[in-house]
Every structure is written in structure tokens, then in C-alpha cells.
Chain A
Amino acid sequence: ILNVEQSPQSLHVQEGDSTNFTCSFPSSNFYALHWYRWETAKSPEALFVMTLNGDEKKKGRISATLNTKEGYSYLYIKGSQPEDSATYLCALSSSNTGKLIFGQGTTLQVKP
């Protein structure tokens, strides 16, 4: 059974701080790693999909890296803003069947 772990569970930072979260997963049977941003009462928004070891992706102030050999991905937010406050989910797919196994999420609160 695939198990995806995210840490920390929650995080409070000041506006302007940079922060990062971790997603850990079993390195075997890896197909793709997804990051989502989920604001309350909205749909989860896809941030990144990564498949290759060493992948690095960037979207504005948010970036992510992937290490499939050791089974982890980092999500970085540079210069956090209050609008970055959300729950960040990572999900693993082990094949092209489409099934996603989610972590519990990291809830970020950015104080102005």
C-alpha cells in the first residue's frame, strides 16, 4: 500500500518569509508526483506534475523539486504572501491508471 507523508502538518509564517514543505513517498512503483494548492471552499488547483528524478519546476514564487531515488519532493515558496495561505497537497500516482494517493496536506497561514 502506497503511503504519502507530508510535513509539517501546518505552518504559520510572516509575510515575506520563504518556506518549504516536504512530501515523502515510497520510491518503488513511482510514476508521477503531483502538487496541488487548495483554498477553502474552492477546488484544488494543480501546481506541478513531476515524473523525472531531479525534476525542478517553477511557477512564479513557487517551485518544486523531485528525488525519486530517495522518495521525496520539496515545495518552496519564496517571499510568502497572505494570498499563499492554503493547504498544499501532494499526491503520488504509481501508474498511468490515474489513481492518486494523497498526503494529508500542509496548511500554510501567512500573516500580513
Chain B
Amino acid sequence: GAVVSQHPSRVICKSGTSVKIECRSLDFQATTMFWYRQFPKQSLMLMATSNEGSKATYEQGVEKDKFLINHASLTLSTLTVTSAHPEDSSFYICSARDGTVPGDGYTFGSGTRLTVV
């Protein structure tokens, strides 16, 4: 079945540095990639939607200059948390949509636990 590889699974970084998270679709072309964030005891919250080759669409309240999303190819999307601060510590997870599969076809990565110290 469809697989999305996400890494790193865990990262600890210093405040003020940037962190890049990668999601790769291994056996299908991800025409659309979704990035979610989950704070403790809360639900997965959509941050942004990206389509290959175009700019990402950010949800209300998500800073596009802080969370840079690149979806330059049909198999790779990256989320860069720039100038990270402790409040950015969270669980980040991507989901890729296989455009050839109608209806369902959402495949998730395994997530990245970011801790900013």
C-alpha cells in the first residue's frame, strides 16, 4: 500500500535555530500534502495544504514566514520551522493525498516530535 516516510521522528533544537522536517511518498505521487500539528491532549490541527509546484495555503493563525513549506516534487514535501521557540514544541505530522485515488487515499507519515529548548 501507499507509504509516506517522515523524518526525523524526534528532534531537539536550540531556541532560535531552524528545523526541517521531510515527508516522502515512497510508492505514489503525492499531488497534495497536508501538514498537521498536535499539542498535548488536543486534536490534529491542519496547518497548511501544499500542492506540488505551487505555494502552500496556510490555515488561519499559522504564520507562513515561520512555517516554510516546500513541495517541489510529487514525492517530497518539507516543513521548515524557522527561528524555533519553545512554544513551537509540538508533534508535527504530514499526510499525502494520492490524486489518482478518489475519495480516500490519505496516507500519513509517522510524525515528528519537536522539542525546542
Interface of A toward B, CB cutoff 8 Å: 4, 32, 34, 36, 41-44, 46, 49, 51, 89, 91, 97-105
Chain A at the B interface: SS class: loop
Q: Contacts of A104 on B, CB cut-off 8 Å?
A: 41-43
Q: By the criterion CB–CB under 8 Å, are A98 and B32 in contact?
A: yes
Tell me if B15 is interfacial: C-beta within 8 Å of chain A.
no
Return A44 CB to nearest CB of chain B, in Å: 5
A4/B103 contact (C-beta < 8 A), A42-B110, A100-B34 known? no
Interface size class of B (residues with CB under 8 A): 20 to 34
Q: By the criterion CB–CB under 8 Å, are B46 and A43 in contact?
A: no
Q: By the criterion CB–CB under 8 Å, are A44 and B108 in contact?
A: yes
Alpha-carbon distance A91/B104, docked complex (angstroms): 12
Interface of B toward A, CB cutoff 8 Å: 4, 6, 9, 32, 34, 36, 41-46, 49, 93, 95, 97, 103-104, 106-111
A43/B103 contact (C-beta < 8 A), A98-B49, A100-B46 known? no
Q: Contacts of A4 on B, CB cut-off 8 Å?
A: 43
Chain B at the A interface: SS class: strand
Q: By the criterion CB–CB under 8 Å, are A43 and B43 in contact?
A: no
24 A-B Cβ contacts within 8 A? A32-B103, A34-B104, A42-B110, A43-B107, A43-B110, A43-B111, A46-B104, A46-B107, A49-B103, A49-B104, A89-B44, A97-B49, A98-B32, A98-B34, A99-B34, A99-B46, A99-B49, A100-B44, A100-B46, A100-B95, A100-B106, A102-B43, A104-B41, A104-B42
